[in-house]
Chains A and B, each alone.
Chain A
Amino acid sequence: MNDARETKLPVGEPVAARGPVAVFDSIHAVLAAERAFLTAALVCDLVPIPRGVTSDCGLALLFRATDIESARAIFADPALGERLRGIFVPGPDGYIPDAMNSPQP
């Protein structure tokens, strides 16, 4: 089993400096989304779901802001889209819903 992944995006920085996060129903869906990103050669990482988004105790998919259109295309696949609770982008005081997506917290 390949369980050693390098951190590919900076974490621990001010939210405003970070990329968007995609939040899913379950760790199963998060890992499926990560596989889809890796298949599409997009850089991503898994981070704890920001508290401002939901109090859920799972992980979110963090990706580059420049890849948000590609992310939307990937999440158009119903297998992932049905499990997507929303895309959230950094705002001045924390993460806010992406205007193009209706989050389902």
Chain B
Amino acid sequence: MIYLDHAATAGPRRPEVIEAVAAVLRDGLGNPGRSGHSLSLRAARLLEESRCVVASFFGISDPARLVFTPGATASINLVLRGYLRPGDTVLASSWEHNAVMRPLRWMERDGGVRVEIVPPRRDDAGYPRGVDLERLRERLDTGPAVRMVALVAASNVTGESLPVREIATLAHAGGAAVLVDAAQGAGVLDIQAERDGIDFLAVTGHKSLEGPAGIGALAMLHPDQLEPLIRGGTGSRSEEEEQPSFTPDRFEAGTPNLPGIAGLAAAIGLLNRVGIETVASRHRELRGRLVARLRETPGLIVHHSADERGDEPGWLAVVSFTADGCDPGALSWALDRRGIACRPGLHCAPRAHRTLGTWPKGTVRFSPGPACTEAEIDAAVAALREATNEVRGGG
């Protein structure tokens, strides 16, 4: 199987990650911060050392401002529901995943929150790109006050990264906080919350960080401005029935997912050894080859800016395309029968597909991981040519 669905979840995990998860389960570590015995203490040390690793990776100097969550969606819900109040206005990019859009639409309907979409800019060929920064600046300068700007670090449909630092600067000048959904960018892009002015940074462990599923994190510059979403036991202030006011306990009620946390820390440890620029470079190489090969294939529309080759900085190895006369789902199925794993449809990002002009059918998305080879890219595109013929009824 050639695995080109890394943007959904990473392929087989590395042995170090598997061992880190297994060690917690095998060694029967206790519940961190709950009991006083040595196994509980080992668990607490592992939890806090992991917290330091993850916080440092995302540029948070005080590890207490990095809390573990079940994933980016949970982190985003915590922020949106813990920060916004009735009457607040949120600006969202036109590339948002439903992890952001669904809680926002719910809060718009039931919570009195106003949601506005910031349009993309257009390249010379009219292709939608990133965010129209002038429009964003104008909106922040005029109209009702904006409480938050929400954006993806990189689109899970096109692979384009957004200019997070510029947007954060504009948002802060306009008095708005910044939420970045880095589900796709974390592990490839150099994202440093404090340096980049990201008030709330949501990440998940199982995509480009290549850790386990079911674990994520939220890095915060201002945790005091956030109400917890979940309240319960923390092992601290146990004599009180009120949630602790201090981090990380304030946001970490319930027994933590220590196997996941250990696996995530191990995965980030590996990334630190490899170097994130090496990963980013590999993503650019793979994207460039993929875009070039797909462009050579007749009858395909590659949803990538015509102005770019594909291997420029700021793009992940995530490429969407459509094929004339082919339903994306049927094409994906034909590819699976040829040993190619990919993802068709809307990728839980209907907003992005509307922006791209590919709603409602969506696209087929190829998203190789760093371990993918050039030969595998070429083989996948060769299989795609056969698959399109089959779906069109010619093979």
Instruction: Report which A residues bind B (CB closer than 8 A).
Output: 1-5, 25-29, 31-32, 46-49, 54-59, 79, 82-83
Known: A3-B42, A79-B62. A25 touches B235 (CB 8 A): no
List 16 interface pairs A-B (beta carbons < 8 Å), by A numbering.
A1-B262, A2-B45, A25-B236, A25-B246, A27-B235, A28-B63, A28-B248, A54-B239, A55-B238, A56-B236, A56-B238, A58-B33, A58-B236, A58-B238, A59-B33, A59-B44
Q: Complex: how many Å from CA A54 to CA B262?
A: 31
Chain B 264-291 interface residues, beta-carbon cutoff 8 Å to A: 265
Of the four ranges (under 10, 10 to 19, 20 to 34, 35 or more), the interface on chain B belongs to 20 to 34
Chain B 53-79 interface residues, beta-carbon cutoff 8 Å to A: 62-64
User: A39 to chain B: closest CB distance in Å?
Assistant: 14
Of the candidates B35, B41, B42, B44, which one forms a contact with A57 in the assembled complex, judged by CB atoms under 8 Å apart? B35
Q: Complex: how many Å from CA A28 to CA B262?
A: 16
Known: A27-B33, A48-B36. A57 touches B46 (CB 8 A): no
Q: Complex: how many Å from CA A48 to CA B248?
A: 20
Which residue of B has the minimal Cβ distance to A85?
B237
Q: Complex: how many Å from CA A3 to CA B27?
A: 12
Cβ-defined contact, A28 with B36, below 8 A: no
User: B28 to chain A: closest CB distance in Å?
Assistant: 13
User: A16 to chain B: closest CB distance in Å?
Assistant: 20
Cβ-defined contact, B34 with A3, below 8 A: no
Instruction: Give a binary string over B236-270; 1 marks a CB under 8 Å from any A CB, 0 the rest.
Output: 11110000101011000000000000100100000
Which residue of B has the minimal Cβ distance to A46?
B41
- Measured between beta carbons, the chain A residues less than 8 angstroms from B190 are none
Of the candidates B49, B239, B244, B262, which one forms a contact with A26 in the assembled complex, judged by CB atoms under 8 Å apart? B244
- Measured between beta carbons, the chain B residues less than 8 angstroms from A79 are 62
Known: A26-B249, A27-B32, A28-B51. A1 touches B46 (CB 8 A): yes
User: B360 to chain A: closest CB distance in Å?
Assistant: 47
B332 interface residue (CB < 8 Å to A): no
- Measured between beta carbons, the chain B residues less than 8 angstroms from A27 are 32-33, 44, 47-48, 235-236
Which residue of B has the minimal Cβ distance to A26?
B236
B161 interface residue (CB < 8 Å to A): no
Cβ-defined contact, A59 with B244, below 8 A: no
User: B20 to chain A: closest CB distance in Å?
Assistant: 8
Which residue of A has the minimal Cβ distance to B45?
A3
Which residue of B has the minimal Cβ distance to A31?
B48
Q: Complex: how many Å from CA A31 to CA B239?
A: 21
Q: Complex: how many Å from CA A27 to CA B41?
A: 9
Cβ-defined contact, B62 with A31, below 8 A: no
Known: A28-B64, A28-B248. A56 touches B33 (CB 8 A): no
Cβ-defined contact, A26 with B246, below 8 A: yes
User: B224 to chain A: closest CB distance in Å?
Assistant: 12
User: A33 to chain B: closest CB distance in Å?
Assistant: 11
Cβ-defined contact, A1 with B49, below 8 A: yes
Cβ-defined contact, A31 with B249, below 8 A: no
Which residue of B has the minimal Cβ distance to A105?
B239
B234 interface residue (CB < 8 Å to A): yes
Which residue of B has the minimal Cβ distance to A24?
B236
User: B166 to chain A: closest CB distance in Å?
Assistant: 32
User: B218 to chain A: closest CB distance in Å?
Assistant: 15
Which residue of A has the minimal Cβ distance to B40?
A59
- Measured between beta carbons, the chain B residues less than 8 angstroms from A56 are 236-239
- Measured between beta carbons, the chain A residues less than 8 angstroms from B246 are 25-26, 29, 82-83
Chain B 7-52 interface residues, beta-carbon cutoff 8 Å to A: 32-36, 41-42, 44-51
